[in-house]
Amino acid sequence: MLLLATALSLGPYPLAPGDLLAFLMAKATGAASPLSGPAEAVILQIRVPRILAATAVGAALAASGAGYQSLFRNPLVSPDILGVSAGAAFGAVVGIFLSLPVLAIEVASFAGGLAAVIIVYTIATAIRGRDTVLVLVLAGVVIGALFGAGVGLLKYLADPYNQLPAITFWLLGSLAAANLRDLTSLLPAVAIGLVLLALLRWRIDVMTLGDEEATALGVNTRSLRIVVIAAATLMTSAAVAVSGIIGWVGLVVPHLARLLIGPAFTRLLPVSVLFGAGYLLAVDTVARTLGSVELPLGVLTAALGTPLFLWLLAFSRRPAWS
């Protein structure tokens, strides 16, 4: 809450905490706004959507990461393991390359993310008789690389004055363009994904035992895996479509949460969601206030996430995994 308030008041148009409080009180009671017209516009049109987007994207990435880490029985898996980020990047880059409007670029990115995961899943189920999880991960790596190559090709062909900077900026991740319309697609997607993961939290724990043991305990591993992948992909694609590629949150946050409160998904999910939302909100607030030029979000999450992760790895006493 404190973080939310801080994020609301900071920015190129700073607001005093008192003014902000008065404004919120006025809104809550329906009284006339004590703020000037521009100040109110800054809060409602720019800052509120951006803050909500940061919270939702952070929560989505962290929750997807937590789900995947349990599903793939590996604490170092991130939400883009099945190629969702690469697919989304390819979709967005195609959109930018074709000079499509912003909305179309977001739709293309969302579709690209979904398409990549669907291709990966189809390949993995077509190859029978091997460890499904291993085939999924390998197919994800391969398809991800293929989409990555597609992104590379389009960057090479792109107009270096207009399109290439836009592509680069998108790939580094940013919430600068987040607006109310983005929220109407992002928030429902994240809500659906979170509810699915929350409902399945006890089954997701059983999946960490491996397919055979989980089956012997009565879990239909195939359908559970489809639902978890679908939920995570929906959330991640929606998040990436709005924010571009933001790495590290989906990997570091659930890992950190597991170190603190253990692997049980019933605690891991809410803690990951809170940390993910808080972390990305804090980082985004730093990104837009630190310098005169806004810093790319993906760069900051990596710059902050790497030392944090290494510190945890070196000094944590609780094993996250063995």
Q: Which of 213, 226, 290, 310 binds other proteins (CB under 8 A)?
A: 213
Name the amino acid, one letter, at 116: A
Q: Which of 34, 210, 274, 308 binds other proteins (CB under 8 A)?
A: 210
Question: In this complex, which beta carbon is closest to other proteins, that of residue 57 or of residue 206?
Answer: 206
320 is a contact residue toward other proteins (CB under 8 A):
yes
**What Å distances lie between residue 29 and 22, 26, 95, 212, CA to CA?**
11, 5, 44, 57
Helix 265-289, helix 48-71: angle, nearest 10: 140
Instruction: Give the E-state strand segments of 137-200 in sequence order.
Output: none
Q: How far is the CB of 316 from other proteins (least distance, A)?
A: 11
Site pattern 121..160 for other proteins (x: CB under 8 A): --------x-------------------------------
Question: In this complex, which beta carbon is closest to other proteins, that of residue 66 or of residue 88?
Answer: 66
Residue 184 exposed, middle or buried by CB count within 10 Å (0-12, 13-18, 19+): exposed
Q: How far is the CB of 103 from other proteins (least distance, A)?
A: 35
Q: Which two tokens stand for residue 150?
A: 């597609």
Q: Which of 85, 174, 221, 285 binds other proteins (CB under 8 A)?
A: 221
208 is a contact residue toward other proteins (CB under 8 A):
yes
**What Å distances lie between residue 51 and 10, 28, 46, 211, 275, CA to CA?**
11, 19, 9, 39, 15
d(C-alpha 59, C-alpha 271), whole Å: 10
172 is a contact residue toward other proteins (CB under 8 A):
no
Helix (H) or strand (E) holding 9: helix 2-9
d(C-alpha 172, C-alpha 158), whole Å: 17
Residue 277 exposed, middle or buried by CB count within 10 Å (0-12, 13-18, 19+): buried
Site pattern 8..47 for other proteins (x: CB under 8 A): ----------------------------------------
Candidates 39-47, 198-206, 240-248, 304-312: pick the segment binding other proteins (CB under 8 A): 198-206
Tokens 């880490």 belong to 69
Q: Which of 224, 299, 302, 312 binds other proteins (CB under 8 A)?
A: 224
Q: Is 49 strand, coil or helix?
A: helix
Candidates 37-45, 111-119, 285-293, 312-320: pick the segment binding other proteins (CB under 8 A): 312-320
162 is a contact residue toward other proteins (CB under 8 A):
no
Q: How far is the CB of 67 from other proteins (least distance, A)?
A: 13
Give the residues lining the site for other proteins (CB under 8 A): 70, 73, 75, 129, 199-200, 202-203, 205-206, 208-210, 212-213, 215-221, 224, 258, 262-264, 266, 318-322
